[in-house]
Structure 1
């Protein structure tokens, strides 16, 4: 998800992205039946084809808007290409969400897409509040009827709605919280927008514990089991209970600013001496917490863990051999380095790590057992056991014992290896201190949860990893990004080729004194192009 890696054959070696909407997912138009079920679906002598005309787009959207404004859910649904999915949500909009007096104002069309604003009133048990937001829709040609129809997506009704979601107004499921950082600074969605989903999860889990009282709210109820509601509007204030987090307001502010510069980016910072999460930020259209839940190949940032595997299994050492040829073949799969990288047959592991030479690691695939990397990840770095309890939902990383070409690909962070920025920040913290401290965002004392443990690393392995990461940060591939950062520093760059993407995913992880951070930017290029500047910005805060 190493730097510049590109195998000759693209297949199982490359990671398939999974996660939330937009995180390796794709939209499938589910209109397989009657294209909306409205009149004109059958018996037509000729069916129109091709893109809808300007007039058709205007007419179809106008009919849909008019029916929606009148609360005629069944009629509005017939103007979409998925009547069965559209009608329940449009019905819930008026009945369960108690949204009335809807006024829709369309904007100027851009091709077949029309932006629009919605103004309405939410009324429930004598409480009323105005509601206003923006959304958009696209008009398409019905596949069987040839009619111009609204391409149905839940986001048409509200931009934060996803498949399976619905809208409800009533007493909130969970009491509100006043989340504060490690120093008592209040953390709000308004000031720290990317904390929104995280604050929702914290509220769902700790709202009762914090001692709050529920209010009346308009919320999105998500389909996924256990997913926290997303509050959209408060009609009657409840009483918020105070919840202390491990976050640092200064680090969080820097993280939020940094990810905004790159689309589809996520970053996590942790305190290596404690495992406390200092910052978590995402800049994504789908609001998915990819920082904690993303599952993507980490590219050459994985070479931290791979180097530890080589060292701990006495295959080589920091100053031991790790030749870097132009290419390396493993079970008919050919691997290359970053374009323009000069070969070095006399390279040490430190040399190849600092330059992010892929072939040096691939060449050792013969000496690494199928499960060596898996055992290193589980036993020493605490990854892949599905037992992290951070305080909110998170992914623990996955380093499966893969045979075939993936044995080599896993060593350079491709193949079947999957990580999140949280996982890689933890890997860096473990490499830096020698101890695995499971990341947490709230104290385990709140709910007596048992944290994951692992053996950690020997003093010798830590010394070698830190020396190699420091070299990478001061004179290797990360030097330009880490320039100007004082104190004890180290880093590793990474990029991961993903089948179907024009650019690789950008990865970067690094540490400075008692803060370790990792970032990922989908379709961001090399590690230094996007993820690197994000991490450096967070490290500058010092936590």
Structure 2
């Protein structure tokens, strides 16, 4: 039965320190290469304009510049240190406020062995905050490069020169934490810790950042990175604790997560180079599990932005049935080739379904059965269905940073590609799990991880629901796919009210497509993606199965 489509187109002001012992011996080095000198670009023949050095920096130039910078910084001369960077104004301001905000004194800078223009060094200091003292030490580095305008060696200025964890706009601070620590618990009261659930470490940081002050906890005193406010909520990073000077009292924060499903999701993705999964409760939208591999780093499950491939056919099918263009039992062939907007689309291995029904084309995930409808659609039909019925692209208020999906208005071939989850369509496992949840519930319930009553936030609401016939038809399509279609192998033996959809999304420069799978079983819906792995049923299907069978 497998006809997972190959999506293809044929054709065409404060001193840094007080009481610091200045001066130190930097690394040694010789002038291993002599840089060339060229006349200034403004010079005219016969002028005696100064020559500008070009070419790689010598070891002596790196040595002198780095030593001068560290010496000036350590002695509290921010202006002198800043002049050795490529952005003196920004560097001066940051250097002048660095120790004051971090409550550092007795700063010592110890250089390591340079590698080309990169110079590592250790920053050691004493934190002194309201009588509480504590040592701190960490490593970072600077990069010395030649200024193309003046020819002089200059340090490339960036916040990480001060601390490796700092990005643009971030600050290193010592003081009372901006939020108390939290004791996060699942829906049944079981504690969720980053030790027991490493995949939740970033989520727990986000929850503390946003809801810590809404618990009964008390903040401690910490050295922490205060994050700059991101332009988009989905990109906002939580503050990061670097050192505790005095422990705070954790406040209990109840989440919607289910520890058993969370464990199952984590085990399912574990060991894969890249994989992500999410589960939600269809009747309410409550998030039950989130897992990623690798465990640390970017949260693909909630913030990823990938083409969802054929899982998008859930939305496309709802749109076609809502518009009266098809129904499960209606004859709906899937030809080998379809041309839209001057581009010729073909099914994987040039397969076709000549006299089949729409249900058969859906269960076999035959692309051209969907692409062939493009000529009878308005450019914004799919966008409206995704947004107004499935909530994709609305501003979700989940309680943590999320990317809430995108189905842009497109035309011609790009619009046709969007019908099968390619083109400009972008989602993540949480979005796709929500698609299945909407089918199971019959209407959209915005996913969330903390009850909206905690902060009186308003959840996103879809402006309409599917027509009753569409809702029933879509459930029958997903059930057929789960029992005898492309999802049958992964769903074999799973009882209850079930439905599923597979997906394979092609990506330029990848030999294998991203594998997608989404399904529901009673009041649990889940989705998973395994990038660059192949077919959805065989690669992402087992991940979703593991979650559903743990419920």
TM range (shorter): 0.7 to 0.9
Q: Does 1:327 align with 2:329?
A: no
Give the Cα–Cα distance (whole angstroms) in 1 for the partners of residues 453 and 128 of structure 2: 40
Q: Does 1:5 align with 2:11?
A: no
How many residue pairs get aligned? The number is: 508
Give the Cα–Cα distance (whole angstroms) in 2 for the partners of residues 335 and 402 of structure 1: 17
* Aligned with 2:205 (options 180, 184, 200): 200
Give the Cα–Cα distance (whole angstroms) in 1 for the partners of residues 195 and 80 of structure 2: 37
Q: CA deviation at 1:410?
A: 1.9
5+ residue gaps in structure 2? 13-36, 41-48
Give the Cα–Cα distance (whole angstroms) in 2 for the partners of residues 69 and 260 of structure 1: 45
* Aligned with 2:455 (options 443, 447, 462): 447
* Aligned with 2:500 (options 484, 491, 495): 491
The alpha-carbon distance between structure 1 residues 371 and 157, as it changes in their structure 2 partners (threshold 3 A), is same
Q: CA deviation at 1:306?
A: 0.6
Q: Deviations over 1:262-288 (max 9, x none)?
A: 456443211123211011234569944
* Aligned with 1:376 (options 385, 397, 405): 385
Q: CA deviation at 1:224?
A: 2.0
Q: CA deviation at 1:305?
A: 0.8
Equivalent residue number for residue 255 of structure 1: 265
Q: CA deviation at 1:439?
A: 1.3
Q: How does 1:417-496 map to 2 (within 5 A)?
A: 417-454=425-462, 455-458=464-467, 460-482=469-491, 487-496=496-505
Equivalent residue number for residue 507 of structure 1: 516
Q: Does 1:127 align with 2:132?
A: yes
The alpha-carbon distance between structure 1 residues 153 and 349, as it changes in their structure 2 partners (threshold 3 A), is farther
5+ residue gaps in structure 1? 11-39
**Cα contact 2:109–2:121 (8 A) shared by 1:** no
Q: CA deviation at 1:181?
A: 0.9
Give the Cα–Cα distance (whole angstroms) in 1 for the partners of residues 366 and 118 of structure 2: 46
Equivalent residue number for residue 55 of structure 2: 49
SS of structure 2 residue aligned to 1:413? coil
- TM (normalized to structure 1)? 0.78
Give the Cα–Cα distance (whole angstroms) in 2 for the partners of residues 369 and 217 of structure 1: 56
Give the Cα–Cα distance (whole angstroms) in 1 for the partners of residues 124 and 218 of structure 2: 29
Q: Does 1:535 align with 2:541?
A: no
Q: CA deviation at 1:173?
A: 2.0
SS of structure 2 residue aligned to 1:517? strand
Q: CA deviation at 1:498?
A: 4.6
Equivalent residue number for residue 415 of structure 1: 423
* Aligned with 1:162 (options 142, 159, 167): 167
SS of structure 1 residue aligned to 2:520? strand
The alpha-carbon distance between structure 1 residues 520 and 220, as it changes in their structure 2 partners (threshold 3 A), is farther
**Cα contact 2:393–2:404 (8 A) shared by 1:** yes
SS of structure 2 residue aligned to 1:207? helix
* Aligned with 2:290 (options 276, 280, 283): 280
SS of structure 2 residue aligned to 1:267? strand
**Cα contact 1:353–1:468 (8 A) shared by 2:** yes
Q: Does 1:211 align with 2:213?
A: no
Q: CA deviation at 1:301?
A: 1.3
Of structures 1 and 2, the one scoring higher in RCO (CA 8 A, sep 6+) is 1
Highest CA radius of gyration, 1 or 2? Answer: 2
Q: CA deviation at 1:246?
A: 0.4
Give the Cα–Cα distance (whole angstroms) in 1 for the partners of residues 482 and 66 of structure 2: 54
Equivalent residue number for residue 320 of structure 2: 310
**Cα contact 2:52–2:150 (8 A) shared by 1:** no
* Aligned with 2:186 (options 181, 184, 189): 181
The CA RMSD over aligned residues, in Å, is: 4.0
**Cα contact 2:338–2:368 (8 A) shared by 1:** yes
SS of structure 2 residue aligned to 1:201? helix
**Cα contact 1:432–1:465 (8 A) shared by 2:** no
**Cα contact 2:335–2:369 (8 A) shared by 1:** yes
Give the Cα–Cα distance (whole angstroms) in 1 for the partners of residues 472 and 364 of structure 2: 19
**Cα contact 1:160–1:286 (8 A) shared by 2:** no
Instruction: Compare 483-492 and 399-408 and name the one that shifted more.
Output: 483-492
Q: CA deviation at 1:304?
A: 0.8
